[in-house]
Amino acid sequence: MKGTLLSLLFLTAAAGTAFGQQQPQFTHYGFNGMYLNPAYAGIKGQGEITTIGRYQYLGYNASFDDGGSPQTGLLTASLPVRAIGGGLGLSVSYDKFAVMKMVNAQLSYSKHIKVGEGTLGLGIQGLFNNLSSGKHRFIDPNDPSVPLEGSDNKFDVGAGLWYESPTLYAGLSANNLLRSKYRFRSEAGDNTAQFIAENHSYLTAGYNIEASSSVVVTPSVLVKMVMPGKFGDSGKFTFKNNSYEANVRATFNDKFWGGLGYRYQESFTGMAGLALAKDNALRIGYAFDFVAFNQDARALSSHEIMLSYRLPKPGMLIRPAIRTPRYSF
């Protein structure tokens, strides 16, 4: 499902053709709400800064187009801001797949509404993307669908909903709503080589189960959807390009955790981590994917490292006043 096939699609698609591809995937998606959904911004009631590095299909070497293992880096920040009734979020990512590179920056705002025991976030985001291409190997000379080396920049937008309570979280989001067209000079000498950023949607949910006074078990799911074509087109919502993930994670005293997961028709996953510093604010995690399906076009494993820091809640930054009877009269 990953974008490693993008360079092949450039070679075979006709000019102006749209094609779907998955955006970067992360095994730490349960710690990664800010990347998935703009409504997540500030929803936890405290600031968070998270960085993730992913090396997918370690050791895979393609025989064409200088391909190889996709490499992804991500930095996100989320902050509640009471003055605006919600929160702000930032996400910056770098994704290298085959001869293509994508740099993505997202700025998000979430409006928070109290709903029952939890909070509902209504989020919007602005996106800036830079897509660059290396040199491709063409089959037919002067093929207008084969891009030369170059890059293009586009702005886009996204929106989402996120609900967060002490026991349950759930989110639904969509990005690339404008379906921006990236244009490249082609082997034919004009700007006919195109890539259309198709609509992507994410549906995720998780539930915290108190197995004991010190252990919390969290099952979670993530559905990633690519929806090619314009809104209103037949087949827009056939969901032929979905990717499904499920994970269960156990956390001990909010300090140690471990989990197992499954990515449909791709891999079995495992993760482990620990928290350090005061209030367990600093979290370090490692995830491993054992690629069990379609190994001919992949490698046996993917690896991921996460580093996250939770800022103190705003109320904790103000020391309570100490009163004495001496000055009460």
In terms of DSSP H, where are the helices of 4-111? 6-12, 33-36
In this prediction, residue 303 carries a pLDDT of 93
Higher pLDDT, 231 or 285: 285
Phi, psi of 16 (to 5 degrees): 85, 0
**Cα 45 from Cα 297, distance rounded (Å):** 43
At 249, the amino acid letter reads R
Average pLDDT, the chain: 84
Residue 18 and residue 228 in contact, taking contact as beta carbons nearer than 8 Å: yes
Strand, coil or helix: what is 280? helix
Determine the Cα angle at 228 with ends 34 and 124, to 5°: 30
Count of beta carbons in the 10 Å neighbourhood of residue 316: 10
Which of 2, 31, 33 shows the shortest CA–CA distance to 306? 31
- Ranking 62-71, 133-142, 253-262, 320-329 by mean pLDDT, the lowest is 320-329
At 48, the amino acid letter reads E
pLDDT of 16 above 60: no
Q: Under 8 Å CB-to-CB from 238, ≥6 apart: which residues?
A: none
pLDDT of 274 above 70: yes
DSSP 8: H
Q: Token digits for 124?
A: 């919007």
At 58, the amino acid letter reads L
The arithmetic mean of pLDDT across residues 160-175, rounded, is 96
In this prediction, residue 7 carries a pLDDT of 37
Strand, coil or helix: what is 188? coil
Higher pLDDT, 12 or 247: 247
**Cα 23 from Cα 199, distance rounded (Å):** 10
Question: Residue 242's pLDDT band (boundaries 50, 70, 90)?
Answer: confident
Q: Token digits for 104?
A: 């993505």
pLDDT of 194 above 90: no
Percent of the chain with pLDDT over 70: 81
Q: Token digits for 188?
A: 């034919």
pLDDT of 29-65, one tens digit each?
Answer: 999 899 999 999 999 999 999 999 998 877 666 655 5
Query: Which helix H or strand E contains 127, and what residues bound it?
Result: strand 118-133
Count of residues in the chain: 329
pLDDT of 73-93, one tens digit each?
Answer: 999 999 999 999 999 999 999
Q: Under 8 Å CB-to-CB from 178, ≥6 apart: which residues?
A: 155, 156, 157
Residue 141, classified by CB atoms within 10 Å of its CB into exposed (0-12), middle (13-18) or buried (19+), is: exposed
Region of 23 on the Ramachandran plot (φ > 0 left; ψ -120 to 50 alpha; else beta): beta
The arithmetic mean of pLDDT across residues 100-113, rounded, is 95
Higher pLDDT, 205 or 195: 205
